[in-house]
């Protein structure tokens, strides 16, 4: 297929109004810029609570929020859960950070004792912990290599027996601060507590998401003609910093 025939790669940003703290915007921006640098046409579409579901989406990305934002989002997620599960089954890639990661699980019990029902893309449950797990973190993923970032969450996430984690913790706390896992992966859906933002300093993860999105359309990622020196140096520094 000639490149001009490809309609733009459509990144749907989930709940930017309520779930977009600690620099989560950097994930969307990284996907957009890298897609452009690979010569792909790309567009970013926002989905906020109450919005009609987008007719077409190649990639979903969403971030963390305050507890207050999570309530608004949880309700909308229930309404669109069917669409998201269909997309997961088709292999559509998604990146869910922090608050959205929790809601992609089965349930989240907040610090005030209320329970939010998640949409169960991941088999995991989260409960608010006594203190926030905060700091630089380095993890190792079998598929995606070393992932570096900054975690900041009070939720403690426990993976179900069959749930694959995204990575194991090299330094930092991770899902619950104890079991040595970080994040979750189901099909091409990645969940993680890493802000930082995650994708700018982890180009391999960004490119995995872009490749998976193109694969659903029967395409593959064009050859890379730009370099990632800045990201590599930033990764080195981030991995060496105190927690």
Residues 33-72 that bind other proteins (CB under 8 A): 33, 44, 46, 48, 66-68
User: Is 197 a residue that touches other proteins (CB under 8 A)?
Assistant: yes
CA–CA dist 138, 77 (Å, integer) = 30
Q: Which is nearer to other proteins, 46 or 123 (CB)?
A: 46
Q: Using the rule CB under 8 A, is 29 a contact of other proteins?
A: yes
Kindly report the number of other CB atoms within 10 A of residue 233's CB atom.
11
State in angstroms the smallest separation of the CB of 6 from Zn ion: 35
Is 235 labelled a binding residue? no
Q: Is 85 an active-site residue?
A: no
3 burial (CB, 10 Å; 0-12 / 13-18 / 19+) is: exposed
Residue 214 to residue 7: CA distance in whole angstroms: 11
Question: DSSP string spanning 131-152?
Answer: EEEEEEEEEEETTTEEEEEEEE
Q: How far apart are alpha carbons 235 and 243 in whole angstroms? A: 14
**In the complex, least distance from residue 183 CB atom to other proteins, rounded to whole angstroms:** 17
Give 113 or 218: the residue with its C-beta nearer to other proteins: 113
Q: What are the phi and psi torsion angles at 124 (to 5°)? A: -155, 155
Q: Does residue number 230 form part of the binding site for other proteins (CB under 8 A)? A: yes
Q: Which amino acids are annotated catalytic?
A: 98, 195
Q: What residues line the site for other proteins (CB under 8 A)? A: 13, 16-17, 20-26, 28-30, 33, 44, 46, 48, 66-68, 132, 134-136, 150, 152, 154, 195-197, 200-201, 230-231, 233-234, 236-238, 241-243
């Amino acid at each position: 297929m000639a490149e001009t025939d490809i309609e733009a790669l459509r990144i749907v940003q989930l709940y930017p109004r309520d779930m977009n703290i600690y620099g989560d915007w950097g994930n969307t921006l990284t996907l957009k810029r890298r897609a452009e640098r690979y010569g792909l046409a790309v567009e970013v579409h926002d989905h906020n609570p109450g919005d009609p579901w987008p007719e077409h989406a190649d990639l979903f990305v969403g971030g963390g929020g305050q507890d207050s934002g999570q309530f608004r989002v949880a309700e909308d997620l229930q309404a669109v859960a069917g669409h998201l599960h269909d997309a997961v089954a088709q292999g559509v890639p998604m990146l869910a950070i922090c608050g959205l990661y929790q809601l992609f699980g089965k349930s989240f019990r907040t610090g005030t004792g209320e329970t939010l029902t998640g949409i169960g893309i991941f088999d995991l449950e989260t409960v608010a912990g006594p203190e926030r797990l905060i700091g630089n973190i380095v993890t190792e993923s079998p598929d995606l290599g070393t992932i570096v970032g900054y975690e900041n969450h009070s939720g403690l996430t426990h993976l179900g027996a069959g749930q694959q984690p995204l990575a194991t913790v090299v330094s930092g706390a991770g899902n619950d601060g104890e079991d040595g896992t970080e994040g979750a992966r189901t099909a091409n859906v990645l969940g993680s507590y890493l802000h930082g933002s995650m994708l700018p300093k982890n180009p391999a993860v960004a490119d995995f998401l872009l490749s998976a999105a193109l694969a659903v359309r029967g395409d593959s990622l064009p050859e890379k003609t730009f370099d990632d020196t800045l990201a590599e140096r930033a990764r080195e520094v981030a991995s060496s910093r105190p927690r």
